[in-house]
Amino acid sequence: MPTEKEKMLSGALYTPSDPELRAMSDQAHRLCQEYNQCNATDHDAKAAILKMLIPRQGKGLYIEGPFFCDYGVHINIGDHVFFNFNCTILDTMQVTIGDHCMFGPGVQIYTPLHPMKAAERNTGLEYAKEVVIGDSVWVGGNVTILPGVHIGDNCVIGAGSVVTRDVPANSFAAGNPARVIKTIS
């Protein structure tokens, strides 16, 4: 019988209040709180907390606080990635971010989903879909990236967009829902 964590990471319905998941989430929330309260000039302390929170990170990760995530351990970040103020990653499923990515303030990346049918939703179960962001992607301020979205290399996502479906490499996408406006050559 799979654990609730195994169900969550496989995309199956799972119980988010499971004790193992709750303990993992509590740990991540505590680390986010420590990070967000850290002195802005204490770069060593901030880097140490980020390494505990997001162990799978490349070199040169920089995150302006406040920053929030569900677990941290399901986030895989490449080299030279920057997050501006007030970003959130709900990582109940894997979130993969390539090298040389920039995220504007207020970016939200979501992996959890709730059932559409009220009776099923009222059970408290949820499921998740991964998010994958390629290399050299610039995500503008206040963008929301929904579960299951894959954004290709070298893309730009316009500020305020809601990304509901995949964006092919070398594209500029914007709007709600975001759509490809043009190819970046």
Active site residues: 114
Measure the CA–CA gap between 46 and 44, rounded to whole angstroms. Answer: 5
Instruction: Determine the Cα–Cα distance for residues 126 and 154; give it in Å rounded to an integer.
Output: 32
Cα atoms in the Cβ-side hemisphere of radius 13 Å centred on 75: 23
Query: Are the beta carbons of 169 and 154 closer than 8 angstroms?
Result: yes
Q: DSSP state, 58?
A: -
Residue 110, judged by CB atoms within 10 A of its CB (0-12, 13-18, 19+), counts as: buried
Tokens of 34: 């420590």
